[in-house]
Amino acid sequence: MLSLRPLVAADLPVIQPWFDDEETRHWLGGRDWPVKGLRLSGAGRHELLAIADGAPIGMVDVEIEHRRAAFAVVIAPHARRKGFGKQMVEACIAVPAFADVEEWFAGVERGNTASRQLLEGLGFLRMTDEDADGFTYFARRRSGWADSPWRPYGRQGQTRVGLLRKLGSAS
C-alpha cells in the first residue's frame, strides 16, 4: 500500500542520494532540487513523500494555481519500473486537500519515455507539441476535456514560467 505525506527537512538525507543517480540528475537536476522544492513549499506548493511498505520510494512536487496543478514525480532508483509512478500520481490526485483541482498537467522533456508512458497510461492527453525547451505537455481533467487552446501555466490565455520549470532548469 502506497501513502503520501508532506516532505520535511528530516527526509532530505534519504531523498538527496536519489539525485546522485544519472537518470534523475538528467531529468530533474542534482541534490539541490528537493531542497529548493521544500524551501518553496507553502500555499499552492506541496512536496509529498511517497512511502510503500514503510520505506520512502518517491516524491511528488505539486504546484497549484487557479484550480490547475502542475506536478513532477521522482521515483527512487531502486523503486523504478515497479508501478509506483502510477500509484503515486493516482494517490496525489486523490489527496483531499487537492479536491478542488480541476486539471492536472506535467511537462515531459524530449526523450523521457518512462514519464510519457506513465502519463499516457493514466489517461493524460498530449496537449502541446514539443516547445522550444523540448517539453511536451500532458493534461488530465477530473471531468471533461482540457480547454483549447491549452496553456501550460497560469489562467487560460496567460502564460508564465512555472516554478516546476524553474526548479528543473536550475541545475
Letter for the amino acid at 113? T
* Per-residue confidence (pLDDT) for residue 62, from 0 to 100: 96
* Per-residue confidence (pLDDT) for residue 26, from 0 to 100: 87
Mean pLDDT of 45-72: 95
Letter for the amino acid at 78? H
* Per-residue confidence (pLDDT) for residue 146, from 0 to 100: 56
Has residue 151 got a pLDDT over 80?
no
* CA–CA dist 23, 21 (Å, integer): 6
Has residue 117 got a pLDDT over 90?
yes
Please, are residues 56 and 12 in contact by the beta-carbon 8 Å criterion? no
* DSSP β-ladder status, 2-6 and 45-52: antiparallel
More confident residue, 166 or 112: 112
Q: What count of Cα atoms within 13 Å lies in the side-chain half-sphere of residue 43?
A: 1
- The rounded mean pLDDT for the chain is 86
Cα Rg of the chain (Å, integer): 15
Mean pLDDT of 16-31: 90
Strand ranges in 76-146 using DSSP code E only, listed in sequence order: 103-109, 125-126, 135-141
Domains of the chain, first to last: 2-169 (3.40.630.30)
Return the top range by mean pLDDT from 22-31, 46-55, 145-154: 46-55
Mean pLDDT of 152-165: 46
Q: Which parts of 21-74 fold into alpha helices (H)?
A: 22-27, 32-40
Has residue 170 got a pLDDT over 60?
no
Letter for the amino acid at 141? R
* Per-residue confidence (pLDDT) for residue 5, from 0 to 100: 97
Residues in Cβ contact with 12 at an 8 Å cutoff, skipping those fewer than 6 apart: 34, 35, 38
Q: Give which of 80, 40, 83 is closest to 63, Cα–Cα.
A: 40
* DSSP β-ladder status, 103-109 and 135-141: antiparallel
More confident residue, 142 or 140: 140
Percent of the chain with pLDDT over 90: 71
pLDDT band at 160 (very low <50, low <70, confident <90, very high): very low
Q: Give which of 164, 136, 143 is closest to 62, Cα–Cα.
A: 164
Phi-psi sector, 104: left (phi>0), alpha (psi -120 to 50), beta: beta
Has residue 148 got a pLDDT over 90?
no
